Structure 1
Amino acid sequence: MIIFAKKLYVSLTCQKTSHNFTKIVFKPLQTNLFNIVLISFFLTLGCGNLYSQEIKSKKKPLPAAKQTDKPQITQNDTIKLDTVRPTKTFLDGKVRYKAKDYAKIDQKKKLITLYNEAELYYKDVELKSGIIVLNYEKDEVYAGRIKDSAGVLVQYPNFKQGASEVQPDSIRFNFKTKKALIYNSRTKQGELNIKAAITKKENDSVYYLKGARITTAQDIDNPEYYFQTNKIKFVPGKKIVTGLTQMVIADVPTPLALPYGYFPLSQEKSVSGVIIPSYNDSNTRGFSLQNGGYYFALSDNYDLTVLGDYYTNGSYALRFESAYATRYKYRGNVNIRYENLISSERGYPDYSKQNIYNIQWSHSKDTKSNPNSTFSASVNMGSSKYFKRSINQANIGSNLNNTLSSSISYNKTFNTIPGSRISLTATHQQNTQTEQIQMSLPNLQGSIDRVYPFVGKDGVKKGFIKNINLQYNVTGKNNIVTYDSLFFKPQMFRDAQIGMQHTIPISTNFKIFKYFSAGASTNYQETWVTKTIDRNYDATQGKVIDKTVNGFDSYRTYNLSTNLGTTIYGTFNFGEDKKIQAIRHVMRPSITYSYTPSFERYYDHYTVDAAGRISTDEYSRFANGVYGAPGQNNSNIVGFALSNTFEAKVRDKDSTKTEPKKIMLLNNLNFNTSYNFSADGKKTLAWQPVVVSGGTQFFDNKMNVNFGAVLNPYAIDNAGNVINKYNIDNGGSLFRMTSANLTMNYSFSNKGSGKEKNNQSQRNGGRNDDLFGTNTDLNDSRNSQFANEPEREDDAVSEFFSSKIPWDMTMAYSLTYTNAARENKISGNSIMISANMDITPKWKGGVSTGYDFVQKGVTFTQFRFERDLLSWRMAFNWNPMGPNANWNFFIGIKSGMLSDIKWNKRSTSNR
């Protein structure tokens, strides 16, 4: 809740320190003149006799003796027993105290005076100050400051009782009544700092303050802003209730004031409360109130935030955000967003209306709760145009992304012999351009661990026979393909494809000639489906029609495969006196062979009568099934693969080290191709293109370089179609490069730690870096958009400018070459750069931009600035060009308690 304060100047605070000291100290210790005169009067009348009250006794009294001077002593004894009060004890607890200079005890005045770095401990009271005076007759204590050698008042009192703590100029406290009078008190309650000219402690739970200021600034004596009020009722840990309250910024009173204020100070981690909306305006939707709502602190384990926007043209948005967690069990959060967008006004040509939504859910389970089962969820689904048209999302990375994906999975392991496990997974893939949605609700996967039926009693698995093993796997799918317009409508579920597949693989592996690793396997599959097709030619429509046939059907397939591989090591030595002493080359060649027979029995024929010409075509009734159709042709494929790594040994720059330094030259360099002996040369060519891929790292793994190419051995005709003729026989080279790509990523910084990842941007479907700009949360802009860094001390300003300016930079370069049909062109060539820099200790700046060398234009560009105003934060983002051009300005208090005190102004992007 926003609260403003009125400034009050209390004349008492302007008095001299000596006057205050006299009022506080000597007033309670002064002699009572009235009692002295009264006692003197009675002592002057000493010739008189005093008698006690006569008390009647049931027993017969003894006869009275003749009164003399001595019997008067007995009467006086009786008077003392009746009228004199017993001596008062020293407080009612143990008192511990100490001081640096002296601790003086005055038995006559009942005073204990502690001077210089004085400390006193009594029950739950801890008092530290320059001077402490304890009157143990009246159970009162005074604490104040002292002057140093330069005459400056130092050693402010620090009074602590239980969880409450104040740092005043002086304090007077009564141990019995628990009341106190405090001057210029300073106290901290959660995020709030409170300073008051006069504080009266009524009891342990109620304080009354006069001439007070409330702020979240760290420097309570010179705050950047504060709320000034004259009257405060303060209940520690619960609430602060104020009278007329006015907001003061930089010691300048503002016109922002309220007749009263209320600050909740709950000891709980969070409390429920209203979230004040911010005002904005739009050229297409009118004026608005945004991000207003209510926060529900439902329990320690979960909460709920309800936010809403409203525009004067009728547009509105609702958001529900909830986070939950149970220690050692699970944690997660849910975001549900809905927007009803109206552009322009009804009757205008640019009028439009649409509803968009987005659902995000993240859940993770603690493995300690149950190691045999796991459950996780990562959901990002909704309208395909949500991140492009949302009025409350500023995330360019999400706007440029074309895919939304989700996954929910549950895994369970059974402690059986052999072991078994089962998993259920629901997935979602959504193309935001075509608006096509592919879902599996759900996928079932089950397996039983490998069984070695020929292993002896010793358990040794060695050789061809003993290594034979078999396994059982089962998968089930419920695939749904739909579009945004049909999402969660009955037709979506009617078109679902359901199936199940059982697989029994049998395999073994063994050594050949000691250096070769060989393996053989066979695989049996049985596939069940609930829908098949009946394909016929419809003469009336002049096209082929597929009719869906509901009912159980199945087919069975099998295949055989073998593999052989080895590892070859080679070292090229150049000499220990050389800078590069040796290069090590590791090659891992492998060859595989797989055979799959023809399953023509699962194919049928249909007749086509088109233009008087009758022809017969083949089809499989399982063609549109969830697992597809079995192969119609034989497949005899030999695959070839070669992987390489290159490593160098170089002389270390440190002459004290005797061992050379190892440097990775190429992490991987891979070649893959295959040959099909059953290819007919028409529909299927024997050789597959050679796929080349590789990657390495430079500059202490800060730069990642990846490259790839596709080499086709066959030539193409004039129409650009691949023909069954080698390219070298067609007057070309051995291989024809049809495509190639190169990507480089380089992140470097002079800061000690790496840059924080943009997790929310990645969750929305964008990048986890800021090459496409930072993710701006328009609901709460208190947090910095730059990487979190430790707070600098005040004396770090001079050190900052005398050394180096902190900065970080991320670069990404992409190059794509295309030559599939003799284009011979660079189809993609672009560079993206993102840089952040601390311009001054309190100013941060950043830019994300790029350049497309093919389109010859600047790519997405964002400028961002941020100013640390101590307890305030100011930020400005600007996207100057493109369909996402917009700007956003924010200034507000960092504290979560006063986060509603802000001003947020932004433009509307051209979306």
Structure 2
Amino acid sequence: MAIQKSSHTFTKIHLKALRTNNFKILFALSFTMFINMFSFAQDIPKKKASIERSEKDTVTVKTDSIAVSELSNLEIEQDSTLTDSIKPKKELLDNKVVYHADDYTRFSKKDNKLYLYNNASIEYGDMNIKAGMIIIDHVKNTVYAKGIVDSTGNYTQKPVFKQASNEVEPDSILFHTESKKALIYNSKTAQGEGTVIASITKKENDSIYFLKNAKYTTAENLDDPEYYIKLRKAKIVPGKKIVTGLANLFIYDVPTPLGLPFGFFPQSETQTSGVIFPTFGENNTRGFFLQNGGYYFAISDYLDLAVMGDYYTNGSFGIRVENTYAKRYKFKGNFSFNYQSLITSERGFSDYAKNVIYNLKWSHSQDSKANPTSRFSASVNLGSSTYYQNSINQVDASSFLNNTLSSSVSYSKTFTGEPEVSLSLAATHSQNSQTQVINMTLPTLQASVGRIYPLAPSEGTKKGLIQNINLQYNVRGENQITTTDSLFFKKEMFEEAEIGMIHTIPLSTNFKLFKYLSMSASSTFNEVWTLKTIERSFDTDDREVIDNTVDGFDAYRTYNFSTSLGTTVYGLFSFEKKGKDPKIQKIRHVMRPSLSYSINPSFDQYYDTYEVVSADGLTSEDVSYTRFEESIYGAPNENFSSSLGISIANNLEAKVKDKDSTATEPKTVTLLNSLNFSTSYNFAGDSLKWSAVRVTGGTQLFNNKLSLNFGATLDPYALDNNNSKIDKFNIDNGGSLFRLTSANMTASWSLSSDSGGKDNKNQDGIERNVQSGGRDDDLFGVSQDFANEQIQDKKGKDDEEEKQNFYKFKIPWSLRLAYAVNYSNSTRQNEISSHSLMFSGDVDLTKNWTIGASSGYDLKNVGFTYTQLRFERNLESWRMNFSWIPFSTNASWNFFIGIKSSLLSDLKYEKRKQSDKSL
């Protein structure tokens, strides 16, 4: 240790003779005295003793009004020197600096710099920087961050710069703490759904960035993006917009002629309005077309609207309006209206035709938490009966085979209490696209009073015949309308409306009989109201029956009685033996037999007669009829009925040894979900007292992948030579015990290479099918609206994990089969009335290539049914689809390629070719 000399620590003072000037000394003393006499404002005044406020005692002080007025006229002058005009020196940094480094933190007094090395981090205000090395310059007020080179020579620990919600990953960064400006080199910045890669970025402030030679892409591999838009010069306002100069598209670093002299990329974090670019194609008779182009209105966070249109060069056009709305914990729904004016041929030709079709769909559902006592729901699908068959918009291609349109709008309200009262109001609609017949109820009113036990004890459980007696009250009123497509919502439609109401009071009880039998008895009283009846007569001149409608209120009342007796029988068959452990250990058979008896009295008081005179006028016959024949709830019984019903339900299950050696219990396997037999015997019938035996059953096999259902009708009576049923048993007529009159079987099988099953790739198209009233599968194909599906990324977490591995040697696939056969033999025709096989499947040829098909084969008529072939190529950031319907009146194909990102969804190419449906 070095010893410092004393001369280095003490200052030498040399005394020298001073010259004096008396006059100047006297002047200096006089000036000092003058300053001390008048300049006292800088003195610190003494603090006065504080006076505590008294809350209890009050003192009244009388003041002289003259003195107060004089004091009020005095002006108190404040010395300007109380506030120091010299501002204190600004601190070196505005905020507290928090820093850290793994290896070392070194401060250089010479350079006035702080060095941080290895996993360095610094926080300054809303700024956060992490890097391999950070240098803080306290003189220039700058922060410099860069990565470090490891032992292998790789550049690691690149900086991560984060300020507010903006995050940048550059190679290096220079940040000025006072101006908040920064220079960023080789940065990657996430902007909305995309990423901006720039060689040099100048950060002007928190909301403006300037870039040079940048790339904008939505690709996942940022080191080698498959495509990007090159921006020569650009300005970024994070979360709002990107404004560029000359920009063009590069695919794998190869420039394309697709570009713009300037560009604008919105970067809003919320939904925004914008133009929907159409797709183009060609129709054989309607020429070239543009489809599904329009404008999207982002009205609010709860409501949006899309207005789109189609145009064909022969003058045909279409308009489509789509709307979705939602309010959390309240309701959600969607609405769409399609209108198409289709022109065939050209004006002046004989085959010129103009057809207008439309379709309206509305779906509304209420959250169960919104109101537990009231509920409103809607599912509407109505319009032209031939809309799906004649529509040429590819959005409707998957609904081509729909035969029925149905709708329901309902509101229900429950009034809690004892008893509970419920009320519902609904409007329904059913429309057949083949017959064009429309059935509607406008509206249907239903009300009911909850079950009442008048004889039940006030406390405890209800036991026995008497205590279980209960009754209810139900009322239902309808306004039914049956019309055709041509009269839909015209005045003629309402003229044939039928109005009726039915009141029902069921009285029932149940009890145990002989411990093992369950018995129930019920009686029902009905009263039907109607506003229209008929009066029937026979016209002897025209030889026809005439019905005259009688307007006015009328009613009839009926009642009936029924009882049932049932039990459950269990049978167990064991295959276990000493020293043996069989695979099938036990089989359990559950049988539920039941007997039911019902009586329906005759209400012939509501029946009248009319006289039918023969052509020669010599004989006449009285024919019975009831004026309530056209009532919407049917007519009262004219004949007495007393019948006994017999049914047996069966279920078979097996206990099978589990393959898992660690399992302690055998596995339960269902052999038969159900096997049911039913028939009835009419005591009051004069002939054919036994009804046909109906057999139904179903089961699931192969781990519930195969669903099998079957049914058959067995008639005990024989047929005569004219194939008419006679009152003679078939076995007594030289035949078997029963005559098979009809049978049916359906099977559906879902297979896939994944034993655990996999989700259907076409789920989005299936949901559109269901919304249009079609099947809940893809056996009839799916929608070809690829433009709206491109933003739905179907890759999941498993795909991300497999990205680093080789592709599976087993090709993933899925197959869905549906088989149906129907047999008819009611009049000895002995034929297969229908026999078909439908199938749909997808095969992943590679990780990015998928092919699929939906088709069927009519085994009776020998021919393929509606067929659709699908091809899909996943191009990482892009998606390519091709769909082909090779034959049928809806034959067409559709090719699409576009970027998945919704931001660049208009960067696409789509080509469609449609056939001439008029053929």
TM-score category, normalised to shorter length: 0.7 to 0.9
Per-residue deviation, residues 829-852 of structure 1 (Å, max 9, x unmatched): 222222212111111111223322
Structure 2 counterpart of 1:702: 705
Change (3 A) 1:453 1:794: closer
Contact 2:388 2:402 in 1 (8 A): no
Match of 1:777 in 2: 785
**SS at structure 1 position matched to 2:770:** helix
The one-letter amino acid of 1:197's match is S
CA distance in 2, matches of 1:909, 1:723: 54
Q: Deviations over 1:454-500 (max 9, x none)?
A: 12233431111111111111111111111111111111122111111
- Give the 3 Å change call, closer, same or farther, for CA 350–781 of structure 1 in structure 2: farther
Distance in 2 separating the partners of 1:680 and 1:287: 71
Which of residues 27, 31, 39 is equivalent to 1:61?
Answer: 31
Partners in 1 of 2:281 and 2:323 — Cα distance?
Answer: 26
**1:831 and 2:837 matched:** yes
Distance (Å, rounded) in 2 between the aligned partners of 1:397 and 1:594: 48
Contact 1:111 1:133 in 2 (8 A): yes
Structure 2 vs 1, CA of residues 784 and 866 (structure 1 numbering), >3 Å: closer, same or farther?
farther
In the alignment, what sits opposite 1:599?
Answer: 603
Unmatched 5+ stretches in structure 1: 1-56, 65-81
Question: Equivalences for 1:152-551 in 2 at 5 Å?
Answer: 152-268=154-270, 270-393=271-394, 398-539=399-540, 541-551=542-552
Compared CA separation, residues 133 and 783, structure 1 to 2 (3 A)? closer
Distance in 2 (CA, whole Å) between partners of 1:162 and 1:83 is 36
661-670 or 113-122: bigger deviation: 113-122
Answer whether contact 1:395 1:774 (CA < 8 A) is retained: no
Is 1:766–2:767 an aligned residue pair? no
Q: Could you tell me how far apart the structure 2 residues matched to 1:411 and 1:59 are?
A: 104
Aligned-residue offset at 1:712 = 0.9
Q: How far off is 1:221 after superposition?
A: 3.7
Q: Tell me the residue number matched to 2:135.
A: 133
Change (3 A) 1:90 1:688: same
Name the counterpart of 1:27: none
Aligned partners of 2:30, 2:372: CA distance in 1, in Å?
92
The AA in structure 2 aligned to 1:226 is Y
Where 1:510 maps in the other structure, the secondary structure is: strand
Partners of 1:895 and 1:753 in 2: CA distance:
29
726, 738, 741: which is aligned to 1:723?
726
Q: CA deviation at 1:409?
A: 1.9
CA offsets 1:711-751 (integer angstroms, 9 cap, x no match): 11112223322222221222111111111111111112233
* Cα distance change, pair 429–110 in 1 and its aligned pair in 2 (3 A): same
Q: Of the two structures, which has the highest relative contact order with CA contacts closer than 8 Å and spacing of 6 or more?
A: 1
Amino acid in the other structure paired with 1:599: F
C-alpha displacement at 1:807, in angstroms? 1.7
Tell whether the 8 Å contact from 1:691 to 1:711 is kept in structure 2 after alignment: yes
TM-score, with normalisation over the residues of structure 1? 0.88
Alignment of 1:801 onto 2:808: yes
- Count how many residue pairs are aligned between Structure 1 and Structure 2: 832
Per the alignment, residue 96 of structure 1 pairs with 98
Structure 1 Cα separation of the partners of residues 406 and 200 of structure 2: 61
Residues 856-893 of structure 1: CA distance to partner in whole angstroms, max 9, x if unpaired? 22223222111111111001111222223221111011
Deviations 1:37-69 (Å, cap 9, x if unpaired)?
xxxxxxxxxxxxxxxxxxxx99961389xxxxx
Q: Which deviates the most, 737-746 or 201-210?
A: 201-210
Q: CA deviation at 1:85?
A: 10
1:115-126 matched pairs, under 5 angstroms: 115-126=117-128
Secondary structure of 1:899's counterpart equals coil
Structure 1 residues 813 and 783, CA, compared in 2 at 3 Å: closer, same or farther?
A: farther
**Residue number in structure 2 paired with 1:733:** 736
* 3-state SS, counterpart of residue 780 of structure 1: helix
Distance in structure 2 (CA, Å) of the matches to 1:891 and 1:403: 34
Preserved contact between residue 393 and residue 778 of structure 1 (Cα < 8 Å): no
The structure-2 alpha-carbon separation of the partners of 1:59 and 1:258, relative to structure 1 and needing over 3 Å to count, comes to farther
- Once the two structures are superposed, residues 368-394 of structure 1 have per-residue CA deviations (whole angstroms, 9 ceiling, x without a partner) of 111111222111111111112212245
> Counterpart amino acid of 1:137?
V
CA separation of 1:794/1:629 partners in 2, compared to 1, >3 Å: closer, same or farther?
A: closer
SS of structure 1 residue aligned to 2:808: helix
Residue of structure 1 in register with 2:50 after alignment: none
- d(CA) in 2 for partners of 1:359, 1:83: 76
- Provide the C-alpha distance between the structure 2 equivalents of 1:545 and 1:209, rounded to a whole number of angstroms: 89
1:607 corresponds to which letter in structure 2?
E
**Rg larger in 1 or in 2?**
2
My pick for the range that moved more, 654-663 or 763-772, is 654-663
Change (3 A) 1:520 1:623: same
Structure 1 residues 565, 488: CA separation in 2 closer, same or farther (over 3 Å shift)? Answer: same
Aligned to 1:746: 749
Aligned pairs for 1:574-593 (under 5 A) are 574-576=575-577, 577=580, 578-593=582-597
User: In the aligned structure 1, how far is the partner of 2:424 from the partner of 2:29?
Assistant: 100
Cα deviations across residues 392-429 of structure 1 (Å, max 9, x unaligned)? 24556522231121222222111122111111222111
**Length-normalised TM-score, structure 2:** 0.87
Secondary structure, aligned partner of 1:761:
helix
Retained in 2: the 8 A contact 1:392–1:778?
no
Q: Distance in 2 between matches of 1:366 and 1:197?
A: 51
CA distance in 2, matches of 1:238, 1:610: 91
Q: How big is the shift at 1:675?
A: 1.4
Residue 810 of structure 1 deviates from its aligned partner by 1.0
Equivalent-residue separation in structure 1 for 2:824 and 2:397 (angstroms): 28
Aligned-pair CA distance for 1:818: 1.2
Per the alignment, residue 12 of structure 1 pairs with none
Distance 1:331 1:497 in 2: 34
Aligned match of 1:108: 110
1:852 aligns with 2:853: no
Post-superposition shift, 1:350? 4.2
User: In 2 relative to 1, CA 323–316 (structure 1 residues): closer, same or farther, beyond 3 Å?
Assistant: same
Q: Which runs of 5+ in 2 are unaligned?
A: 1-26, 35-83
- Is 2:668 the partner of 1:662? yes
| Aligned-partner residue type, residue 793 of structure 1 | E
Equivalent position of 1:46 in the other structure: none
Distance 1:893 1:612, change over 3 A: farther
Structure 1 residue matching 2:205: 3-state secondary structure = coil
Give the secondary structure class of the aligned counterpart of 2:788: coil
Q: Does residue 792 in structure 1 map to residue 799 in structure 2?
A: yes
Change (3 A) 1:869 1:791: farther
Contact 1:361 1:377 in 2 (8 A): yes
1:842 matched to which residue of 2?
Answer: 848
Q: Deviations over 1:431-469 (max 9, x none)?
A: 111011111122111111111111223343111111111
Question: How far apart in 1 are the matches of 2:596 and 2:200?
Answer: 89
**1:146 maps to which residue?**
148
RMSD value over aligned CA atoms?
2.4
Matched residue type, 2:323: S
Say whether residues 1:617 and 2:623 are aligned partners. Answer: yes
- Letter of the structure 2 residue corresponding to residue 133 of structure 1: I
Deviations 1:635-678 (A, max 9, x none): 11111111011112223333444433222111111011111122
Contact preservation (8 Å) 1:741, 1:817:
yes
Give me the whole-angstrom Cα distance separating, in 2, the residues matched to 1:731 and 1:893. 74
Deviations 1:527-560 (A, max 9, x none): 1111222223345654323232222111111111
Using the TM superposition, give the Cα deviation of residue 279 of structure 1 relative to its aligned residue in structure 2, in angstroms: 2.0
CA change 1:122–1:423 in 2 (3 A) is same
Larger deviation, residues 556-565 vs 181-190: 181-190
Q: After superposition, what is the alpha-carbon deviation per residue over 1:151-204, rounded to whole angstroms, capped at 9, x for unaligned?
A: 333322211100111112222211211111222222111112112222222221
Q: State the one-letter code of the partner of 2:705.
A: K
